[in-house]
Structure 1
Amino acid sequence: MISKAYSALVYSLAVIAGVTLVWLMISVIASVLMRNAGLQPFAWLFTSAEYGLLYMTMLGAPWLVREKGHVHIELVTAALPDGLRRIVSRTVAVACVVVCLILAWKGAELFLTNIERGDFDTRAYYVPRWMLTIAFPISFGLMAVEFARFVFGTDLMHTGEAGIHE
């Protein structure tokens, strides 16, 4: 039950990231068309695109880790024997978990600091800064869980096959 709820969360965040990508396309096209027509694009259009870049990246990252869609190079692992490749792959996954946990912790500190100080992002509108920084602990926390699946699960991050495989 918890596993299904967790998977639903990861996939839901990926869908939100996908919808955000569509919004980014629409907002950029609208901005360009407005400028070409001699109009001033709405301030919220540009701001929403900036925020969208952050949210799209952060919310889609855990799903990318799950699907092995992140960038990694298989050149070295492809040359290793199976046993050593497993050790290297799991060691890399452990390092990724540690880095993600540190970034989740620091992101949580930043989020709490923003709430405590009442910080606002004041570019086009006054937006509470915590609405931006909440993405850090959530995303990096979920990425730590996803990388941990490669540490403790049967699936490895590295396939042992060099080159592009799609």
Structure 2
Amino acid sequence: MQPSKRDGVFTLVVNAGGIVAAVGFGLLALLVATDIVVRNLALARWPWLNEVTEYLLTLSTFLGAPWVLRHGGHVNIDILLRLMSPAVARVVVRVSYVLGAVICGICAWLAITVLLDSRASGAAVFKNLVFPEWWLMLPMVWCFTLSTIEFVLRIGGEVRPT
């Protein structure tokens, strides 16, 4: 089956998140390693670095999760599926897609609600770095919205029990 143009755009968006996540994880490893060397050689102290790595870890995880879902990279416990007939396994997998869509949809809605509330209140994060609090919710909105879409696409598509 030929992917639709809409599916192609969705794949591009998910892949963009995966690329940003990969770069973020690479940068995270580089920053932590550099910090260890710099601190142990007493060359400098970077009080902002722990905070940056926390945000980078969060950003990379939430931007990359839809890509991992799209490519089947999450842990998949399929012991029970292997014991079922293929027809029953397909039904169970489809039910899991529905549950995934509902759960991710609820999480997306909650993340959007918190983002809008935080933005309306003007709340800010005051640590070493100062920025609007709602920025922290953007990766979560991205993650759960795209994951919801992925599960909905799976509900309507071919079921591939593992």
Q: Where on the TM-score scale, by shorter chain, does this alignment land: which range?
A: over 0.9
Superposition map of 1:47-66 within 5 A: 47-66=51-70
Check conservation: 1:59, 1:135, Cα contact below 8 A.
yes
The 8 Å contact of residues 27 and 46 in structure 1, kept in 2 or not, is answered as no
1:112 maps to 2:132: no
CA distance in 2, matches of 1:28, 1:115: 31
Whether the 8 Å CA contact 2:93–2:159 is kept in 1: the answer is no
Q: Summarize deviations over 1:14-50 as a string: whole Å, max 9, x none.
A: 0000000011001101111111012443233222211
Percent of matched pairs sharing the same residue: 28
Structure 2 stretches lacking a partner, 5+ long? none
TM norm structure 1: 0.90
In structure 2, C-alpha distance between the alignment counterparts of 1:143 and 1:81, rounded to whole Å? 28
Number of aligned residues: 158
Give CA deviations for 1:83-127 in whole Å, capped at 9, x if unaligned. 000000000110011000000000000110110111111121112
State the 1:80 CA deviation: 0.5
Whether the 8 Å CA contact 1:24–1:52 is kept in 2: the answer is yes
Unaligned runs of 5+ in 1: 160-166
Which range moved further: 32-41 or 121-130?
32-41
RMSD, aligned α-carbons: 1.2
Would you say the 8 A contact 1:11–1:63 is kept in 2? Answer: yes
| Aligned position for 1:6 | 10
How many angstroms does 1:73 deviate by?
0.2
Following the alignment from structure 1 to structure 2, what is the Cα–Cα distance between the partners of residues 40 and 124?
A: 16
| Pairs within 5 Å for 1:4-153 | 4-153=8-157
Counterpart of 1:162 in structure 2 is none
